[in-house]
Amino acid sequence: MRATVIHGERDIRFEEVADPTLSTGGDAIVRVVAACVCGSDLWPYRGITPTPRPKRIGHEFVGIVEAIGPDVLTISVGDFVIAPFYDCDMTCINCLNGVSTSCLHGGWWGSDDRLGGFADGAQGERVRVPHADGSLVATPGAPAEHLVPSLLTLADVMGTGHHAAVSAGVTRGSTVVVVGDGAVGLCAVLAAKRLGASRIVAMSRHADRQAVAREFGATDIVEERGAEGIARIKELFDGIGPDCVLECVGTQESMDQALRSARPGGMVGYVGVPNGGAELPIGLMFGTNVGANGGVAPVRNYIDELLPEVLDGRLNPGRVFDLELPMAEVAEAYAAMDERRAIKVLLRP
C-alpha cells in the first residue's frame, strides 16, 4: 500500500509502505476514505519539530472497516467510522474522566508506539487501529457523500474548537473572541455559536477566512494584532473585554493576545499546539483574575455529542475544507497549507 512519509524539512513523499496487519485481537484495519493535513503537521514540515528518521504522518481520517480482531465487540467489517486523532481504549480511568488524550493504553498516529517503532499515520490508504472499540465511532449506515468532510472534522478540528469553547466556559449569552483563523479557530467560532454565545469576534486578516467565520456565526471581525488588536477588542466590549477568549494558534504572541484581551475574571480556553514558546504570565493573570484552561483536545469524548448534529445538517464544519486533492499530491497539500493558499486540505486515496 501507499502512504505519506515525512523524510525531513519540506520533504513529504507518497510512497510504498508495509500493509497493516492485525496483531492484538482488539484492533481493526480501516481503509481510508478521506484524510487531511492539519496545521500541527506543518511543525515537522517546516523543520520546527525535528524528524530524526522517515516516518508516516497524519492523524485525521474516516474510512471503512476492512478487518477486525477476534476481541472487537462494537465495530464490524463494513462500518463507516470516524477515528479521533489518537488511539484510546475508552475504558481506563482517564478516558472515563473525559480526558481520552491521556489514555493509559493509547498512543498517537505517526508517533513512537509502545514497542519502539512508529505507528501508522493517517495520510495513507489503510490504518491499523489498536483499540477499535475505544477509538472508532461508527455512523448509522453509510453517510451521504456530502457529509464526509464534516464527519472528518470530528476527528480533530471541530472537536478541538469545541474543547476551546467548553474550556473557556462559553454558554448562552457569553461574549467571545477567537484568536486564530485556521480550521480550529473557525470551528471554535462555530462551537461558540452552537453553545449560545451572544457576540463572537473572529481575529482574521484573510477575506476567505473571514467569510467562513461569518458563516459560522462571527458577529465581528478584528484584523489588528498585538497592542492594536487588544485595544480594538477592548473598544468593542466597553473598554473591559469579552467573557471568553479562545486561543487556537499556540504561539507566545497569540497567548499574550488572548490573556490581555479577556475581561477581568474572564477565561481563556487554549487549544493551540504550543510550538511557539507560549508561556503563562502569572503576574498578569493574578492581577486580573483571568484564568486559562484547555490543552490537547479529547475529541473522542465529544464525538457522540456532535455527530447527530452533523448527520442532520445542523452543523456543517466541513466548510473549512477549501481544497481537495488526491493523496498522491500530498506534497502540494502541505505546500498549500504552509503558504496559506488553503485553510485546510482534504485528501482522497
Neighbour count for residue 344 (Cβ, 10 Å): 28
Same structural domain, 148 and 60: yes
CA distance 4 to 144: 27
Determine contact, residues 10/47, Cβ cutoff 8 Å: yes
pLDDT on residue 276: 66
Residue 278: pLDDT band with limits 50, 70, 90: confident
pLDDT, average across residues 140-160: 97
pLDDT on residue 133: 98
Judged by DSSP in three states, 92 sits in coil
pLDDT tens, position by position, 79-107 = 999 999 999 999 999 999 999 999 999 99
DSSP one-letter code for 345: E
pLDDT on residue 279: 81
pLDDT on residue 114: 46
87-105 exposure pattern, b = at least 16 Cβ within 10 A, e = fewer: bbbbebebbeeebbbbbeb
Same structural domain, 185 and 218: yes
pLDDT, average across residues 337-345: 96
Of residues 246, 247, 233, 187, the one with CA closest to residue 213: 187
pTM (two decimals): 0.95
Judged by DSSP in three states, 74 sits in coil
pLDDT on residue 332: 98
Of residues 297, 279, 262, 287, the one with CA closest to residue 179: 262
pLDDT tens, position by position, 174-212 = 999 999 999 999 999 999 999 999 999 999 999 999 999
Based on the structure, what is the number of domains in the chain? 2
pLDDT on residue 118: 47
pLDDT on residue 117: 42
Residue 142: pLDDT band with limits 50, 70, 90: very high
CA distance 152 to 201: 25
CA distance 26 to 75: 10
pLDDT tens, position by position, 39-72 = 999 999 999 889 999 999 999 999 999 999 999 9
pLDDT, average across residues 214-234: 97
Domain of residue 243, CATH code: 3.40.50.720
Same structural domain, 152 and 252: no
Same structural domain, 253 and 182: yes
pLDDT, average across residues 304-324: 97
The last residue of one of the domains, among 267, 294, 321, is 294
Alpha helix ranges (H) inside 154-261: 157-168, 183-194, 207-216, 226-236, 252-261
Burial of 138 (0-12, 13-18, 19+ CB in 10 A): middle
The letter for the amino acid at 324 is E
Task: Among 21-25, 73-77, 95-99, 290-294, name the one with the lowest average pLDDT.
Answer: 21-25
pLDDT tens, position by position, 63-80 = 999 999 999 999 999 999
User: Above 70 in pLDDT, residue 242?
Assistant: yes
Same structural domain, 6 and 152: yes
Of residues 39, 7, 14, the one with CA closest to residue 275: 39
Same structural domain, 302 and 287: no
pLDDT, average across residues 5-18: 96
Question: What percent of the chain is predicted at pLDDT more than 70?
Answer: 97
The last residue of one of the domains, among 252, 267, 294, is 294
Three-state SS for 137-163 is EECCCCCCHHHHHHHHHCCCHHHHHHH
Same structural domain, 79 and 36: yes
Residue 116: pLDDT band with limits 50, 70, 90: very low
User: Above 70 in pLDDT, residue 272?
Assistant: yes
Same structural domain, 165 and 257: yes
pLDDT tens, position by position, 29-38 = 999 999 999 9
**Residue 210 domain boundaries:** 158-294
pLDDT tens, position by position, 246-268 = 999 999 999 999 999 999 999 99
Domain of residue 44, CATH code: 3.90.180.10
User: Above 90 in pLDDT, residue 274?
Assistant: no
Same structural domain, 223 and 325: no
Helix, strand, coil % over all residues of the chain, rounded to 5: 35, 25, 40
- Per-residue cell: 195: 453553545
pLDDT, average across residues 274-291: 89
